[in-house]
Amino acid sequence: MSVDKAELCGSLLTWLQTFHVPSPCASPQDLSSGLAVAYVLNQIDPSWFNEAWLQGISEDPGPNWKLKVTSGLLIRGQTGEEMTRDGPARHMSWVMGRKRDRCLVSNLKMVLRSLVEYSQDVLAHPVSEDHLPDVSLIGEFSDPAELGKLLQLVLGCAISCEKKQDHIQRIMTLEESVQHVVMEAIQELMTKDTPDSLSPETYGNFDSQ
């Protein structure tokens, strides 16, 4: 039976918070830019997800001037130019919102591409198409089900990398109900991927921890 990805998202958000990254990661909205996920990956393997790679993830994916729409007044933060008509204000707000969404999705595509490359090239674990999330839904709507799929891939990397025992110990500090969901997600990865890509030995024996 497939793990409910929305429920998985909540449990993996709890897991992500144990990394104490500088970017908030308490809600799906916090992760919609990809930045918090990138910081976690940097801790999982700082040699692959290095500082140069992190710099490619925009901390503020919006435009370099901010819009504020209040009672039909549009303020452009850098120039001070104002538009007082409701129509242009709403239109510009919508346009800039769409640009921000595209930047968020671009960040997430970079994170996903790097995750897939790391899984295949470093861990020798090809990622099946079934496990690939729709990052557009994450960036635009903070979709918890698609975010759950993305975080499941992050989990797979954490418990397959050189420091996997450290990450397993981290999981074992979580509440039992959260551990249960996380372990179901691991089992799903083991059973759905190609036979030679994942194995129980890869992830260690949780029962022995």
Convert the pLDDT of each residue in 37-68 to its tens digit: 999 999 999 999 999 999 998 775 444 434 43
- The first and second tokens of residue 71, run together, are 């009672």
Q: Residue 58's pLDDT is what?
A: 74
> What's the average model confidence in pLDDT over 159-163?
94
Give the whole-angstrom CA distance, residue 153 versus residue 172. 19
Q: Are 127 and 153 in contact (CB under 8 A)?
A: yes
Average pLDDT, the chain: 79
Q: How confident is the model at residue 204 (pLDDT cuts 50, 70, 90)?
A: very low
CA distances to 125, 165, 199 from 195, in Å = 10, 22, 8
Cβ atoms within 10 A of the Cβ of 118, count? 22
Least confident range of 9-23, 32-46, 87-101, 194-208: 194-208
Q: Kindly state the helix (H) or strand (E) to which residue 83 belongs, with its residue range.
A: strand 82-83
What's the rounded mean pLDDT across residues 176-181?
95
Token couple for 176? 């039992």
pLDDT tens-digit map of 9-27: 999 999 999 999 998 999 9
Tell me the H-state helices in 20-64: 35-44, 51-55
The fold adopted by the segment(s) 5-59+104-199 is: Actin-binding Protein, T-fimbrin; domain 1 (1.10.418)
CA 174 to chain centre: 20
Mean pLDDT across 26-32? 93
- Sketch the domain layout of the chain as residue ranges: 5-59+104-199
Closest CA to 131 of 121, 145, 118, 143: 145
